[in-house]
Amino acid sequence: MAPSRTIVAMGGGGFSMEPDNPLLDDFIMSLAGADRPRVCFLPTASGDADAYVVKFYSAFTSRAEASHLPLFNRTASDIDGMLLGQHVIYVGGGNTENMLAIWRTHGVDRILRRAWEAGVVLAGLSAGSICWFEAGTTDSFGPDLAVLTDGLGLLPGSHCPHYDGEAQRRTSYHRLVAEGRLPAGYAADDGAALVFDGTELREVVASRPAASAYRVDAVDGAARETRLPARYLGD
């Protein structure tokens, strides 16, 4: 059988945004298929911020073989071997465009595709959620949201994270899709995650009872938003 190709795209949440609510991270770990999975953190979008890396290890060391891949002060000579040997690759938030540029310089973009095709679970939030798609909304260039069109393209269409967490996200995404500047795609609230098998959406899961995700299409020059059913991961 071919390996399962799984991506978990979180609008927001996980250890960095919900340190006292591990439901999304627990869900990601459950997909690894190992009692003590190997999990590698890519903090590139934050500039490999030390504080972010410390939070990752605090959240994962007790239950996983945790590691991280720094690229600004690169220490790994065999990135291929490091990433392809993981059960889970977890991408943090920050500046998406800068992250993609750094990844391409070091060949990480190509390795991530190979990891996905080999069955490594890919996950992330914010920048680590947008990156898997062809396009999306980004604050990489300043406080006003702009169009990102050079995502990795593992998933078709566009993506908007933090849909309910930042005031301009919903209105900007609707406008950009309606104008045809972004292809149709998916938005996710903070605390919600889109779970893909290959390029097909399998389900939406949530760490907050009210969090959900949405399909946004352009219809007759306007954006049409369809709320997707979400499975709350709590009791």
Contact 185, 135 (CB under 8 A): yes
Nearest Cα to Cα of residue 118 among 91, 89, 92, 93 = 89
Token pair recorded at residue 169 = 């996200």
Distance of alpha carbon 199 from the chain centroid: 14
Is 62 catalytic? The answer is: no
The residue annotated as part of the active site, out of 162, 172, 174, 212, is 162
Distances (CA, A) of 99 to 75, 89, 90, 186: 17, 15, 14, 21
Across the chain, how many H-helices and E-strands are there? 7, 14
- Is residue 197 within 8 A of residue 3, CB to CB? The reply is no
Residue 87 annotated in active site: no
Q: What are phi and psi of 97, to 5 degrees?
A: -65, -45
Q: Of 16, 126, 158, 207, which one is the catalytic site residue?
A: 126
Catalytic site positions = 126, 162
